[in-house]
Structure 1
């Protein structure tokens, strides 16, 4: 492996990273617009959150096949397809006059990001020198973490001073530019044109994701739709079981599940899943709480996440540098302490929460996330042999999207359920308290997962 990255390799990483950045940027920016969209299109909280959940769901359906796509098609062609899909989705949303069209546009954007997102980490894993792997993985995390630093403020400004449609208008030229850079700089790789696509596995994983997300999204209506919710969970779990069994018995699986024979990879992946659920839960909860309970405008609701998102993004590569020099345990343990303590404080100081206190606590939480996520991904992937890293990357990215969708769905479901039968202010205030309990549970699972990953895992270079 080369001791340094070339300019073309760095630009290829940047191009793929811009897709991830724009995907998260729109996601966090549109979270700010939810009250506006609810009023304009006359939709409920549980329905409007599908702007985020649906996008994550589409990404979660396509990312599992990224390992197959990498083996079967040239990277440049895949990247152009991703750019085309993302651009079409943006154009649909720019001109959408009904909520259904707006949602369709978000789904198409999710398909584009789902194809492009794994490329960034695949390039980093394949071409980064070992001595810089932590830093480069941290930079990859920085790209996606920087978007939440800008997204809420960006969304708030567009909503308050222009219109929410400008969120999509501003992103469109960035995607076109990224597609052009990627086509020029991504190198062609050896492909296997004879490898067959297992359609049954794809259908199974798609059914699993769709039904599980729908089940979680309708938890707030479980009393009225008990049969529907139960059917969703039964179909989802059954589809996931069938997918797993099929991968173990066919010659060319979409994902080689041998990756889960490595216990450290499994526990680190579990930690990242619950971190994703917590972070996206905060991303939906805090702007809603600030606007409805604290009576702040959309711009201020976006700004409340800004300092935390900035420090989280900046500490991603810093955490990678610490890993390269001192190992993974120190930055991850420090990050866990920050995230756990801040979440506890949100709950126990709930009656005293002010705009400034919410900003400070989220700042501490995000600092921890910056130290945890990139380093945990690096640790997880380092336990896999080279021939399984593309499968590990696909699995990790897939589960992150699924858990993000679940976290958003549960947060929205809790808020919507408590809001029923009472005024919006009181319902949101009490609902926030219940969501915070859910977030503490998530962070506790993260602590336990990281403990078992380091205690029982195989020894590696970290």
Structure 2
């Protein structure tokens, strides 16, 4: 039976995408409330970043088991489980009176999003005709880009006029709507199988990611050679080695390390991760910069992020059209050049950024990000055989979340280190920490640009059309 993009399929994509939409909406909405949360819960900058870092880290540990979950349970059951975990987290967040309870609620939201996140892209890859794949992948990215656009404004207005808890109250209502539409429209993607759950491989991945993140974030308060930093980083690397050893010979591995031997896949994946690190780092820094350095309000911080996020959404859809007609190379390279130009200017002007400069450079960055990000995922996945797409999708989604957590932690750590300098006022130390972050991000995008020139195909993605 020929594949068609029907209204019911679009409803299914939107319903599945709502979990990732709400996850990102809450993430970007709470980012603009960080100064408020720091004051209300009496925490520091490096501690408050865990409100988002923890969610992304939990998602990164859940996504790797998505392929096995999809074989043992129906697609609709998986979707409803994701909604249930997400709703439980929202309820805890709404009533949390302590910072640790807020983190618990956010972690449960991460479980729900981690269960549901791969669904949208798996539905697109499985049900959408090949000649519409680039466009629909762009639409999928645009769903999350819309959350990026609305989140800061939503969070700023809600916090200024009500309280930050209303962010989660409103999200719970949207999650209920998603549960209703998804229960009707979510299709079954594959035949169910009795597969043996690979606990060892999953634990090795999960423990590795957690230890690496703990080690990195500990740099804000501990020297590099301390047990908290070196011990966690070393433990994370050992965990990755264990995963590599037990997975290499398993031809039905949870995530096959053999996929990384495909350089066209792994190098585009690297570019994808670097873009996510940069984006989440900027998303963390700009609201704090506007409020702490430029003395703006919470709602102003949200509105300043709005034009860039809109540009991201528009360019993501445009990039999908270009990819379908001309291939991935053009949108990826143009996007990276635009993002790099923005970051260079941010690094030069970082100590004295006006709100107008932030709007313009944020818009330039996000325009480039929208052009390149979904195109990198589409191009990277089409470097794999069709039967490898589910695992490739899981790898992209896992490392997307871990990279996002790493980007947030990077910005939070550098700001915290800079703010430890008590000889300068907080506005100065915040600006200095932001500039350090911009300089590091310039280096990451330069590396990404070099890798893209070398490994993004020069021709139209024939593998997409013929597979």
Pair 189,287 (structure 1): closer, same or farther in 2 beyond 3 Å: closer
Q: 1:399 to 1:418 in 2, by over 3 A?
A: same
Deviations 1:102-137 (A, max 9, x none): 000000000000010101000101111111111000
Deviation at 1:449, TM superposition (A): 2.1
Task: Give 2:377's aligned residue.
Answer: 377
Q: Displacement of 1:452 after TM fit?
A: 2.2
Matched, 1:447 2:449: yes
2:2 is paired with a residue whose SS is coil
Distance of 2:458 and 2:129 partners within structure 1: 27
Pick one of 417, 428, 432 that aligns with 2:434: 432
TM-score under structure 1 length normalisation = 0.97
- Tell me whether 241-250 or 103-112 shows the greater mean CA deviation: 241-250
Alpha-carbon distance change, 409 to 73 in structure 1, aligned in 2, over 3 angstroms:
same
CA distance change for structure 1 residues 458 and 231 in 2, over 3 Å: closer, same or farther?
farther
Partner of 1:7: 7
- What is the match of residue 360 of structure 1? 360
Q: Over aligned residue pairs, what C-alpha RMSD do you find?
A: 1.7
**Cα contact 1:196–1:252 (8 A) shared by 2:** no
SS in 2 for 1:43: coil
Q: Distance in 1 between matches of 2:102 and 2:26?
A: 13
Equivalent residue number for residue 66 of structure 2: 66
For 1:225 and 1:182, locate their aligned partners in 2 and report how far apart those are by CA, in whole Å: 49
The alpha carbon displacement at 1:54 in A equals 0.3
**Contact 1:383/1:458 (<8 A) preserved:** no
The alpha carbon displacement at 1:262 in A equals 2.1
Conservation of the 8 A alpha-carbon contact between 1:263 and 1:456: no
Deviations along 1:235-256, whole A, 9 cap, x unmatched? 1111111112211123532112
Quote the Cα distance in structure 2 between the aligned partners of 1:249 and 1:267. Answer: 23
Q: Is the 8 A contact 1:132 1:324 kept in 2?
A: yes
* Counterparts of 1:35 and 1:459, CA distance in 2: 45
In the TM superposition, residue 191 of structure 1 has moved relative to its aligned partner by 3.6
SS of 1:252's equivalent in the other structure is: coil
Counterpart CA distance in 2 for 1:204 and 1:77 is 26
The equivalent residue for 2:136 is: 136
> 1:54 touches 1:103 (CA, 8 Å); kept in 2?
yes
Segments of 5+ residues of structure 2 without an aligned counterpart are none
In structure 2, relative to structure 1, the CA distance for the partners of 1:190 and 1:345 (3 Å cut) is closer
CA deviations on 1:13-46 (whole Å, 9 max, x unpaired) are 1101111110000000000111101100101111
In the alignment, the residues of structure 2 paired with residue 456 and residue 199 of structure 1 have an alpha-carbon distance, to the nearest angstrom, of: 40
Q: Distance in 1 between matches of 2:192 and 2:299?
A: 50
CA contact (8 A) 1:156 1:302 kept: yes
Q: Which residue of 2 aligns with 1:405?
A: 405
Within 5 A, what are the aligned runs for 1:309-324?
309-324=309-324
Query: C-alpha separation between the residues in 1 aligned to 2:128 and 2:384?
Result: 16
Instruction: Tell whether the 8 Å contact from 2:379 to 2:456 is kept in structure 1 after alignment.
Output: no
Could you tell me how far apart the structure 2 residues matched to 1:320 and 1:172 are?
31
Determine if the alignment matches structure 1 residue 297 to structure 2 residue 305: no
- 1:188 is displaced (CA, Å) by 2.5
Distance in 2 separating the partners of 1:229 and 1:73: 39
Q: State the TM-score, normalized to the length of structure 2.
A: 0.96
Question: Contact 1:20 / 1:116 at 8 angstroms: preserved in 2?
Answer: yes
Cα offset for 1:418? 0.8
List, as ranges, runs of 4+ consecutive aligned residues in structure 1 with deviation greater than 6 Å.
Answer: 455-459
User: CA–CA distance in 2 between the matches of 1:245 and 1:48?
Assistant: 36
Instruction: Indicate the residue corresponding to 1:53 in structure 2.
Output: 53
- Equivalent pair of 2:17/2:120 in contact (CA under 8 Å): yes
Counterpart position of 2:29? 29
- Check conservation: 2:33, 2:155, Cα contact below 8 A: yes
Q: Deviation of residue 2 (structure 1)?
A: 2.8
Q: Greater shift after overlay, 22-31 or 182-191?
A: 182-191
Q: What does the per-residue CA deviation read over 1:203-238, in whole Å, with 9 as the maximum and x for residues that have no partner?
A: 111111111111111111122982211111011111
Question: Residues 278 and 97 from structure 1, CA distance in 2 versus in 1: closer, same or farther, beyond 3 angstroms?
Answer: same
Contact 2:274 2:444 (C-alpha < 8 Å) held by counterparts: yes
2:351–2:435 contact (8 Å) kept in structure 1: no
Which consecutive residues of structure 1, in runs of 5 or more, have no partner in the other structure?
Answer: none
Confirm or deny: 8 A CA contact 1:2 1:128 kept in the other structure. Answer: no
Q: Secondary structure at the match of 1:223?
A: coil
- CA distance in 2 between counterparts of 1:352 and 1:279 reads 20
Question: Counterpart of 1:304 in 2: which secondary structure?
Answer: helix
Describe the superposition over 1:322-365 as per-residue Cα deviations: whole angstroms up to 9, x where unpaired: 11112211111111111011111111233442110110011011
TM-aligned CA deviation for residue 455 of structure 1: 6.5
1:219, 1:410 within 8 Å by CA — same for their partners in 2?
Answer: no
Cα distance between partner residues in 2 of 1:75 and 1:201 = 23
